[in-house]
Structure 1
Amino acid sequence: MTTDWRGAWTTALDELEMDVSAVEAMLADEHRHADTPPADIWKPPTELGALPLDLRPRADGILTRQLAAAEEIARRLTANRQQAKMTSRIETGEAIKRPIYLDCAM
């Protein structure tokens, strides 16, 4: 029973680590996954019980990586919003029709 419990946790952490690795890879090469986001989103397993103590350092490491990836995603989203705001202010001349001259003789 102990082996199954530990094995279930090891499998769960393997899946979670693969998920965070995919996010890290996407952040490292933003163009590679821009059009194809990961299809298999990690779902927490149910009824595992408490995390085995010897797996705690690994779980903490994965959590640290997840938080760093989430922080980087938030930073990039903010940068994208700022860039979109700046580009919306650029005048191309196509959308705005201005008179070339004004005839004041009338």
Structure 2
Amino acid sequence: MRMSGIALAFMLMLTPLSVAHAANEESGIGVGDARKARPLIAELCTRCHLVPGFPPDKLQPAVKAPPFSDIAANPSRYSDAAIARFLSQPHWPMQGIILSKRDIANIIAFFHELRTSGGK
């Protein structure tokens, strides 16, 4: 079967969205919105993680939290499902942070955005 140039361009345009959708469905959390993750990331994540586009908020280097750019750059280690599992379980130093499935989906969408932008 041969595709027209327009059909091929449309299919290629939808591929990143389809991949993100399939990956999030695999993790059981649905598709998130990176823009909605930004306030949550600013409030909770920048204390311990370096996050591109955000100034560090009293960064606690003793925690040794990986920079978000490193997480985004290594999807084989930090898959959507692995991130969802990690964020779903209380753990040090995030034991007081309870995230909804929607929040987790939005944070994962933020990582997808970092991957497509080269971590910037």
Shorter-chain-normalised TM-score: which range?
under 0.3
Taking structure 1 as the reference length, the TM-score comes to 0.25
Structure of greater Rg: 1
